[in-house]
């Protein structure tokens, strides 16, 4: 089955700096890679996603890159703000966009 590794597990950055979270996956058939943000006590919410036919996608301060050959994808947050503090999860979907494996999560702390 699919194995998704995510690192780092915790990340502290100064407000205004960039944050990068990386994930690797094992199943070459995986074809959809979303990133979720989960604030304490709340539900995961999609912040950005990328499909296997695209190498990069950007939405304002958030970007995701995908390297299919190396089987890794990364989340980039620029100009971080205190409200970016949360746990971020990567995920890899296969099997018709239904079989999903999540990374263990990265706790991001943005220090004002």
Partner 1 sequence: DAGVIQSPRHEVTEMGQEVTLRCKPISGHNSLFWYRQTMMRGLELLIYFNNNVPIDDSGMPEDRFSAKMPNASFSTLKIQPSEPRDSAVYFCASRSGTGGNYEQYFGPGTRLTVT
Among 52, 100, 107, 109, contact with partner 1 (rule: CB under 8 A): 100
CA angle 51, 49, 74 (to 5 degrees): 90
Stretch that binds partner 1, among 16-24, 54-62, 63-71, 88-96 (CB under 8 A): 88-96
| Cβ at position 40, least distance to partner 1 in Å | 12
**Taking CB under 8 A as the rule, which mask of x and - marks residues 36-65 in contact with partner 1?**
------xxxxx--x----------------
Q: Is 33 near partner 1 (CB under 8 A)?
A: no
Among 37, 75, 77, 103, contact with partner 1 (rule: CB under 8 A): 103
Among 13, 102, 107, 109, contact with partner 1 (rule: CB under 8 A): 102
Distance from C-alpha of 8 to C-alpha of 103, rounded to nearest angstrom: 11
Q: How far is CA 64 from CA 20, 40, 42, 104, 111, in A?
A: 10, 23, 23, 18, 23
Taking alpha carbons only, the member of 24, 105, 31 closest to residue 72 is 24
Q: Which is nearer to partner 1, 8 or 16 (CB)?
A: 8
Distance from C-alpha of 32 to C-alpha of 43, rounded to nearest angstrom: 20
Q: Is 32 near partner 1 (CB under 8 A)?
A: yes
Report helix, strand or coil for 84: helix
């Amino acid at each position: 089955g699919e194995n998704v590794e995510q690192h780092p597990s915790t990340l502290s950055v100064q407000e205004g700096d960039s944050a990068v979270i990386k994930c690797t996956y094992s199943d070459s058939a995986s074809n959809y890679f979303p990133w979720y943000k989960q604030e304490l006590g709340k539900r995961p919410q999609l912040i950005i996603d990328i499909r296997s036919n695209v190498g990069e996608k950007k939405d304002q301060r958030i970007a995701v890159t995908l390297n299919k050959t190396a089987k890794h994808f990364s989340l980039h947050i620029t100009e971080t703000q205190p409200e970016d503090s949360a746990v971020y999860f990567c995920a890899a979907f296969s099997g018709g966009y239904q079989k999903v494996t999540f990374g263990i999560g990265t706790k991001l702390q943005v220090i004002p």
